[in-house]
Structure 1
Amino acid sequence: MAFKTDSGGSSPMADMNVTPLVDVMLVLLIIFMVTAPISSYPIDVNLPQPTLNPPENPKEPPPPISLRIDASGVVFWDNAPTPLGQLESLMRQTVQRDPTNQPRLEIDVAGQAEYDTLAKVLAYAKNADMDKIGFVQKEE
């Protein structure tokens, strides 16, 4: 702490030198940033693996299945209203037809739809072992 007198000279004025304090705080900040563990969450992704022998006559992919969730929470499987409880069995039947050549599931969700319905649909698709899932985005 340094004392100095103002230009009038009658009373001492106390000013604290904060430069060393700022230096120490910056060094501590850098140390904590470097040593703090970076939290990461692993996500399992099934990436295609390279093959030396490509298939000779690849199968034609089946037509995609459109699944639409409207704002009131009603689920439409290929434009037919479907109860949420029957959705997983429909997905399992679709996968069991040909597990190696599954149709793509195209999910279209209304902007006002509840997230809970979408979460259930995605859980059903995972439980049914559906591999090809996509989201439809409409331009406005």
Structure 2
Amino acid sequence: MRGCTCHGMRGCTRHGMRGCTRHGMRGFICHGMRGCTCHGMRGCTCHGMRGCACHGMRGCICHGMRGCACHGMRGCTCHGMRGCTCHGMRGLTRHGMRDCTRHEMRGCTRHGMRDCTRNGMRDCICHGVIS
């Protein structure tokens, strides 16, 4: 019931009631209410009302309180109510219930309930009120 841990091209680990299905080099599909579709180096997409969509170099989009942990140079880790942390040189961190801060080449930090998306290699677009 906790979603899926994606390990890039290594596949993913299901933290729920059902198993994972492998689809060759294209990654794994984890079945369940909060399943996960892994796309290899491109990251993974967690399905359901709670999860996140990781888009590789573009960072990640957090859609709720829970989701998946994508590991790799440009993966992301979702931390429940705290949101999502994208790892890498130009990641994105989402932590709570405030606005968004841009750090240019260093990525961006999300402090709100709404989504942040990476915009190229410099900054981020935050979908919500920005103070």
TM over 0.5: no
More helix by percentage = 1
Instruction: State the TM-score, normalizing by the size of structure 1.
Output: 0.22
Larger Rg: 1
More strand by percentage = 2
Instruction: State the TM-score, normalizing by the size of structure 2.
Output: 0.23
